[in-house]
């Protein structure tokens, strides 16, 4: 049975979320799948069509 508004995240409790966030900020590489796909797609499109101003 779930209690509304009460949840537990083992990743957050162990600090995994903070490590991922710090890594992404330090390197500029997103740690989420959608963020990585967005970054790669943007790089490909910018090489094909050139940089936009």
pLDDT of residue 53: 55
Residue whose entry in the numeric block shows the structure tokens 């740690």: 31
Mean pLDDT of the chain: 88
Mean pLDDT of 26-44: 93
- Joined together, the tokens standing for residue 38 give 């967005």
Residues 20 and 31: beta-carbon distance below 8 Å? yes
Mean pLDDT of 26-52: 90
Predicted confidence band of residue 28 (pLDDT cuts 50, 70, 90): very high
Give the HSE-up count for residue 7: Cα atoms under 13 Å, Cβ half-sphere.
Answer: 5
d(CA 41, CA 35): 10
- Which pTM does this prediction carry? 0.60
Residues 30 and 36: beta-carbon distance below 8 Å? yes
């Amino acid at each position: 049975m779930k209690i509304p508004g009460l949840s537990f995240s083992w990743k957050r409790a162990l600090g995994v979320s903070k490590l991922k966030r710090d890594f992404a900020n330090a390197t500029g590489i997103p740690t989420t799948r959608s963020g990585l796909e967005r970054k790669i797609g943007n790089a490909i499109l910018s090489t094909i069509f050139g940089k936009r101003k």
